[in-house]
A and B are shown apart, each in its own frame.
Chain A
């Protein structure tokens, strides 16, 4: 009798174990190392696992410099992540290399994506399929040093709203020594930072042009608008002398050190600037042109499902991807990382919009553009070189612009061949 009971118990135990083993799926998630991002993702995974007891997520991170190489080589070899984080600008390469698969339409219907997310999510679409969804997005804004504004007799609560007012503020706040050397900038000039995005997606458009046509496959800035945008930018150093490229090495360093009144940077800089103790700073939307037209540049990291995933792992990956792009996850991401929610409803809350720091970035998202880079580093370099030719070699801006357009078109052509 006792023996029979024991046997029955044992059989039950074995069957439960077997059932659990069948239900337990482990999927692997990869992203690059960035402290707050890793922390936020760990919290999301914990919550997800509590709600989905059958699924465990293995969280793996790599330094940014080797991240793309690792993903490409691992996935090509049929290993590595099931769900992977990628920069929106890598999609072409990842799709061409068959590293990621289209999002299954049953779990991610297109009309829902387009209705709920900011329009910049379109950058994840190729051939009618979406290849990934972002948790958070980043946009640009003008940071200004309230202490310097006050000292220059400007209202620290009324940052410049137009390009004209911006230039006037820069001229008022710049400080020079007796030899004319800048000792504190009115505005930071740093093409290697975010200025190339400002020039490309904002200044060119404000001058009546477009940076590219044909889905960003044809360079279109070798135009009157492009030239006006470029000279507006280089004039800041050569004519108005309100800033100097290379001053304190980087624009953000100059601003952080309290030696620049204004700088243009993204949401991702909020963490670094939060540690500033010696002065108060504010954020405002990127200046509008004379007609009140504004523009912005937005970018994001998206999460995608790799091409090798199928069966129950695919089901688990779908659930996980849906969770990390849910409003709840976006809320947590905003709190921990400081990046803006990618869903309109989660982002445009009264609370967020009135937030003095998030507000201007969120407003920027409404009218932001997203450049479809084929090789972000190389394309950025053409813009850096274009400005350097004017500033360091006194090349005619028109010639420099034409040279940049030609070089960038060659990069795009080679990549899309």
Chain B
């Protein structure tokens, strides 16, 4: 026993400092790596395997080859949902980034009640998406309940159907989602803006450069890492949008007529409402592929040359 310990101590002492450092690092990394492989990667692989079976909760799985994928390609609902998911992405990401940058840009210059204003913008980010969706659902109601329609009729405009329209529903669902994410993006943008050395601005001003040129030539280029991070981050969150959609139209989630249904919700309904696990797994693999491709494209496009 003692001999063994002595031997192991000798082994440890025999290592060089850099070796020890590497060993320590791996010891600490082992826990998250183990966690990730068991909780994340293993189920991911399993889901991929499942997507080639017809497993439903009630009957055992049997291998069906690519049947789930061919079914997916032929499913009009899938293409509708695919379109919705990308609408969330291509409307949501630019709008939320433009808004949050504009707010951060001007908020950065405001001294008066700066903290309070920032807190007000940040507050929605802390609110549960579900609770917020329920409140917005009531905002969008027709009169006499809905605040927005109440205002519209008060100024003499016709009521809008909002969530009860196949055209307006998606933007109506997106609005609270953008609003909720704004606070976080503003904070990150402000941090990015503050990190730019003031000496650059001073030099530019001494040279008499216009504010717009400063923005275009100094601020934006130096903010690039921040922008890259936020684009990737918010794209992924819009591609995975779920709670807002699910809760804002609780009785017909993703409706009306599937016009607000994102891919994640289709997966959820296939798996946990219809218990069609194999088909749901195939949808999950497709979502995974989309997220991967979108992230890779963004990283490449926005990479420093």
| A residues whose Cβ falls under 8 Å from a Cβ of B | 65, 68-69, 72-73, 93-94, 96-97, 99, 177, 179, 181-183, 190, 192-193, 244-250, 259, 375, 377-378, 381, 384-385, 388-389, 392-393
Contact = CB atoms under 8 A, between A and B. Distances in A.
Nearest to B251: A192
Nearest to B164: A246
Contact of B58 (A94, A181, A190, A249): A94
Contacts of B251: 190, 192-193, 249-250
B53 interface: no
B25 to A, nearest CB: 39
Interface of B: 57-59, 137-138, 141-145, 153, 158-159, 161, 163-166, 251-252, 255-258, 269, 272-275
Given A72-B58, A97-B58, A378-B274, A246 B142 contact: yes
Contacts of B166: 392-393
Identify the 9 closest CB pairs spanning chains A and B, nearest first. Answer: A97-B58, A192-B251, A246-B164, A72-B57, A93-B58, A377-B273, A388-B256, A183-B144, A181-B143
Nearest to A411: B274
B143 A384 contact: no
A375 B255 CA distance: 18
Nearest to B162: A246
Given A181-B153, A182-B142, A248-B145, A73 B273 contact: no
A246 B142 CA distance: 8
Contacts of B164: 245-246, 392
Given A97-B58, A192-B252, A249-B138, 16 more contacts: A65-B272, A73-B57, A93-B57, A96-B58, A97-B57, A177-B153, A181-B159, A182-B142, A246-B142, A246-B164, A259-B144, A385-B258, A388-B256, A388-B257, A392-B166, A393-B166
B302 to A, nearest CB: 40
Nearest to B134: A249
A375 B274 CA distance: 7
Question: Which of A192, A378, A385, A392 has the most CB atoms of chain B within a 10 A radius of its CB?
Answer: A392
A96 B145 contact: no
Contacts of B143: 177, 181, 183
B141 A248 contact: yes
Given A94-B58, A183-B143, A247-B142, A388 B274 contact: no
Given A245-B164, A377-B274, A392 B257 contact: yes
B142 A244 contact: yes
B84 to A, nearest CB: 15
Contacts of B273: 375, 377-378
Contacts of A385: 255-258
A182 B161 CA distance: 13
Nearest to A190: B251
A385 B80 CA distance: 14
Contacts of A259: 144
A181 B275 CA distance: 41
A388 B58 contact: no
Nearest to A179: B153
Question: Which of B142, B143, B166 has the most CB atoms of chain A within a 10 A radius of its CB?
Answer: B142
Contacts of A96: 58-59
Contacts of A93: 57-58, 275
A249 B165 CA distance: 14
B299 to A, nearest CB: 37
Contacts of A375: 273-274
A249 B163 CA distance: 10
A392 B167 CA distance: 10
A193 B58 CA distance: 27
A68 B58 CA distance: 10
Nearest to B167: A392
A272 to B, nearest CB: 15
Contacts of A192: 251-252
Nearest to B279: A414
Nearest to B256: A388
Contact of A249 (B137, B159, B161, B258): B137
Contact of B272 (A69, A97, A249): A69
Contacts of A377: 269, 273-274
Contacts of B269: 377
A161 B161 CA distance: 33
Nearest to B77: A407
Contacts of B252: 192, 381, 384, 388
A360 to B, nearest CB: 25
18 contacts: A68-B275, A69-B275, A93-B57, A93-B58, A96-B58, A177-B153, A181-B143, A246-B164, A247-B142, A248-B141, A249-B138, A250-B251, A375-B274, A385-B256, A388-B256, A388-B257, A389-B257, A393-B166
Given A177-B143, A392-B257, A246 B57 contact: no
B267 to A, nearest CB: 15
A250 B137 CA distance: 11
Nearest to B156: A179
A245 B275 CA distance: 29
A247 B149 CA distance: 12
A385 B274 CA distance: 17
A97 B255 contact: no
Contacts of B158: 179
A343 B134 CA distance: 41
Nearest to A94: B58
Contacts of B257: 385, 388-389, 392-393
Nearest to B165: A392
A411 B213 CA distance: 60
A99 B58 contact: yes
Contacts of A389: 257
A245 B273 CA distance: 24
A393 B143 CA distance: 22
B271 to A, nearest CB: 9
Contacts of A182: 142
Contacts of A248: 141, 145
Nearest to B166: A392
A175 to B, nearest CB: 10
B142 A181 contact: yes
B272 A388 contact: no
B255 A388 contact: yes
A183 B161 CA distance: 15
